[in-house]
């Protein structure tokens, strides 16, 4: 038996293990506490509406009359219909046949690659959610990068000389927090349509967008239904990181080589997936009730409130940054010309931990990520430490 040798080409990332080790050592040596502005996970509990829905669904599973066995692989209609309505409110018309429920964006981002041939050229930001890169290395595909930097405010546009087949766009971006506007996304959509490429649009942080002029779905852009797959999740919207539910939209109009990609993805999912738990789908459905939506908004307001406190401090200190207004992430330029790791060590010595930007790609050198998922009191205390750090 021959193994898939491409696995051996995936770089081991030491980013999070290294930051954890440094924090551990600092605490052991100094006895001081460290406030972590490096948390990439939500911390607020699930909305009560979701909890109640899942308790009820659990009980239904224990009663013969209401028990549910296998559901459709693409998800229950009750949930797909709610997502359809959610998009209608954004001005995007979808059919429920274009919506596929999954156990989360990470699974879909990895699994969607099954429907593409190996010999496609993949195009992504150099500063990137590592899953985009690793899944393609695993499949042995060629990857080219577009470069985010301070000059383009970490919102790079395509290089017309690159002929790409599969394009990754994350907006609001993890890790930079930068958000593309409609004009910028139109450039990407037009580029993709000119090249016959497919955009994989990661909208996991769309619920953090509060500026109504910014697009929360790529389908707000004309021509996107002919070139883009949108992948989204309840993880950051409703705190589902440990509950696991997301969805992927493959428009019926997205056709390549005379084959509808919707049909290929349906085939992939019906062959290699058996749907998301009924209980969890009922929990996700509750996100869309009035009560659920209100609770979700309160939670996101809380995180954005944290980000706002951080933004104010950075502005006062004259530190360059993007993000934090329509995103839980802030991406700052390390002051004093420090490298990402130098700044990490410097901040840590003052009791605050963040994430070195270089860990997300070479263009991240000299930059640094802060996240807004922590406690309010800690954020306030951390900003005091920021100001006093010398």
Site for a second copy in 4-23 (CB under 8 A): 4-5, 7-8, 10
Q: Is 151 exposed, middle or buried (0-12, 13-18, 19+ CB in 10 A)?
A: exposed
Q: Is 38 exposed, middle or buried (0-12, 13-18, 19+ CB in 10 A)?
A: buried
Q: Cα(387)–Cα(382) distance, rounded to whole angstroms?
A: 9
Binding-residue pattern over the window 33 to 62 for a second copy, x denoting contact by CB under 8 A: --------xxxxxxxx-xx--xx--xx-xx
DSSP 126: S
User: Is residue 274 within the footprint of a second copy (CB under 8 A)?
Assistant: yes
Selected from 29, 33, 119, 377, the binder of a second copy by CB under 8 A is 119
The distance of closest approach from Cβ of residue 40 to a second copy in the complex, given in angstroms and rounded to an integer, is: 8
The distance of closest approach from Cβ of residue 240 to a second copy in the complex, given in angstroms and rounded to an integer, is: 9
Closest residue by Cα to residue 203 from 216, 219, 190: 216
Residues paired with 246 in a beta bridge: 102, 233
Q: Which is nearer to a second copy, 174 or 277 (CB)?
A: 277
CB under 8 A: which stretch of 112-120, 175-183, 300-308, 324-332 binds a second copy?
112-120
Q: Which is nearer to a second copy, 236 or 333 (CB)?
A: 236
Q: Phi-psi bin for 122: left (phi > 0), alpha (psi -120 to 50), beta?
A: beta
The distance of closest approach from Cβ of residue 236 to a second copy in the complex, given in angstroms and rounded to an integer, is: 11
Q: Which is nearer to a second copy, 226 or 365 (CB)?
A: 226
Selected from 27, 71, 147, 389, the binder of a second copy by CB under 8 A is 71
Q: Cα(182)–Cα(289) distance, rounded to whole angstroms?
A: 29
Selected from 127, 170, 198, 249, the binder of a second copy by CB under 8 A is 198
Helical axes 278-287 vs 290-317, angle rounded to 10°: 70
Q: Considering CB under 8 A, how many residues would be counted as binding a second copy?
A: 76
């Amino acid at each position: 038996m021959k193994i898939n040798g491409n696995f051996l080409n995936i770089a081991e990332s030491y980013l999070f293990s290294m930051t954890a080790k440094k924090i551990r050592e600092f605490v052991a040596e100094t006895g001081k506490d460290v406030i972590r502005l490096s948390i990439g996970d939500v911390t607020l509990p699930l909305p009560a509406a979701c909890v109640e829905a899942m308790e009820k669904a659990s009980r239904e599973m224990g009663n013969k009359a209401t028990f549910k066995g296998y559901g459709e692989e693409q998800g229950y209609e009750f949930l797909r219909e709610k997502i359809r309505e959610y998009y209608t409110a954004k001005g995007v018309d979808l059919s429920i046949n274009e919506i596929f429920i999954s156990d989360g964006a990470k699974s879909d981002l990895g699994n969607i690659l099954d429907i593409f041939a190996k010999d496609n050229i993949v195009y992504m930001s150099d500063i990137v959610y590592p899953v985009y890169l690793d899944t393609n290395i695993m499949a042995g595909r060629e990857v080219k990068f577009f470069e985010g930097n301070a000059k383009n405010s970490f919102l790079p546009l395509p290089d017309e000389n690159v002929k790409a087949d599969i394009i990754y766009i994350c907006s609001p971006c993890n890790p930079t927090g930068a958000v593309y506007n409609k004009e910028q996304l139109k450039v990407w959509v037009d580029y993709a349509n000119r090249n016959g490429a497919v955009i994989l649009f990661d909208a996991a942080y769309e619920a953090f967008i509060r500026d109504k002029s910014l697009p929360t779905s790529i389908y707000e852009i004309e021509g996107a239904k002919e070139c883009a797959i949108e992948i989204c999740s309840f993880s950051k919207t409703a705190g589902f990181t440990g509950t696991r539910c997301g969805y992927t939209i493959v428009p019926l109009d997205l056709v390549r080589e005379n084959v509808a990609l919707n049909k290929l993805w349906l085939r992939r999912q019906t062959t290699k997936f058996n749907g998301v738990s009924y209980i969890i789908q009922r929990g996700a459905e509750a996100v869309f009730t009035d009560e659920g939506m209100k609770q979700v908004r309160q939670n996101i307001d809380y995180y954005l409130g944290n980000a706002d406190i951080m933004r104010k401090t950075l502005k006062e200190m004259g530190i360059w940054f993007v993000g934090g207004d329509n995103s839980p992430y802030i991406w700052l330029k390390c002051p004093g010309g420090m490298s990402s790791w130098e700044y990490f060590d410097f901040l840590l010595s003052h009791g605050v931990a963040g994430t070195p930007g270089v860990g997300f790609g070479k263009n991240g050198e000299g930059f640094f990520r802060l996240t807004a998922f922590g406690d309010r009191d800690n954020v306030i205390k951390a900003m005091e430490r920021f100001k006093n750090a010398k």
